[in-house]
Amino acid sequence: MAAHSSQSVDPARAFLRHTLATLAYRAGKSLRECPESFASFSSGEKGRTPGQILAHMGDLMDWALSICRNQQVWNDSKPQAWAADVDRFFASMKALDDYLAGDEPLGDEPARIFQGAIADALTHTGQLNMLRRMAGCPVKGENYYRAEIVAGRVGPEQAAPKREF
């Protein structure tokens, strides 16, 4: 018989952790194996470069954590070297996931935390994928329903794809 925890798992927090793991899995594909020049790629429009988008994604994770702690703060970070911003993004996501895994109270409703920072970061992951295609270094499509996504796995190391196309 399995041991039962005396603490019950908050389903909303568990879902937020799953969304972070999903973001880590999807963003990980977008951030791996990029040529050095990708960070400064321009689509020719007035949009952000991939490096600016990635720095913003790190800011989003920091912002979400500040909201969780009921100390909302926004930073507008300048891009660093690509590898440094990749590390920052995943470290910020881990700090947020660690907070969600704990039992400290959330500073706002889980749905609002999702609809702001996490949903925005998912959108930016799609933008990075589109820019990679435009830059000539596309990300393979995948059946994400079959992906091995596990709450708490929010680092750059992710399970191998189950079915890419």
pLDDT value at 1 more than 60: no
**Cβ pair 30, 142 in contact under 8 A:** no
User: In whole angstroms, what separates CA 100 from the centre of its chain?
Assistant: 14
Determine the pLDDT at residue 4: 44
Greater confidence, 8 or 57?
Answer: 57
pLDDT value at 46 more than 90: no
Determine the pLDDT at residue 7: 63
Task: Look up the pTM and report it.
Answer: 0.93
pLDDT value at 134 more than 60: yes
pLDDT value at 58 more than 80: yes
What span, in angstroms and rounded, lies between the C-alpha atoms of 62 and 97? 11
Alpha-helical segments (H) within the chain: 11-31, 50-68, 82-101, 110-113, 119-134
